[in-house]
Chains A and B, each alone.
Chain A
Amino acid sequence: AQSVAQPEDQVNVAEGNPLTVKCTYSVSGNPYLFWYVQYPNRGLQFLLKYITGDNLVKGSYGFEAEFNKSQTSFHLKKPSALVSDSALYFCAVRDLYSSASKIIFGSGTRLSIRP
């Protein structure tokens, strides 16, 4: 069975500091991993994905994510946070060779950046 966990409901960071939003996953085969961001009253927007290859994936708005196979983690990172990064972030996973409908979303982490 597939699962994804976002252990923190909320992450608070000062503007200019580095940020990390955590995600761990479980799949039976090879993972296909995603991060999405949701702003108030909007749908989810794709940030980045990992299929294979380099463990550090770069995405939109200066975000990156580090894939760690041994720890089954895919943490989202940014070197210097902006107030405009404040939003709800979702990690998602599916088995690479499963149907696209089998994607599972985490419960979300609210990121708050204080000026």
Chain B
Amino acid sequence: NAGVTQTPKFQVLKTGQSMTLQCAQDMNHNSMYWYRQDPGMGLRLIYYSASEGTTDKGEVPNGYNVSRLNKREFSLRLESAAPSQTSVYFCASSPQSQPQHFGDGTRLSIL
């Protein structure tokens, strides 16, 4: 059972570089989410997609963009990476009513 798959698992970037974090789910869920996890701060929502073709900003969207490519895939893009974006990024999906299913995360360091 794959569940939610995130790639890559680790990445190191230089300030100003761009990259896209990939996420795919095989549970036929409508809703997908991108969170960042920082020590002592729990999870903070970056962007949310309630269904294919729709996206909404979360608590901390600045510096990020997203694409809901189809029902399975939801990508997160950093256009110009900054050290403040060093974090662990989690993708999640859920049916209409939660709970959410999480991927294993992407550990991103920006130098």
* Chain A contact residues, CB within 8 Å of chain B: 9, 32, 34, 36, 41-46, 49, 90, 99-101, 103, 105-108
Contacts and interface: CB of A to CB of B under 8 A. Distances in A.
B104 A105 contact: no
B15 interface: no
Contacts of A100: 31, 48, 50, 94, 96-98
B40 A43 contact: no
Contact of A103 (B98, B103, B104): B98
- How would you classify the secondary structure of chain A's contact residues: helix, strand, loop or mixed? mixed
Given A34-B99, A100-B96, 10 more contacts: A42-B105, A46-B99, A90-B42, A100-B97, A101-B33, A101-B45, A103-B45, A105-B44, A106-B42, A108-B42
A105 B43 contact: yes
Contact of A34 (B42, B50, B98, B105): B98
A105 B42 contact: yes
B21 interface: no
B4 A43 contact: yes
B101 interface: yes
Contacts of A90: 42-43
Given A100-B31, A101-B33, A101-B50, A46 B101 contact: yes
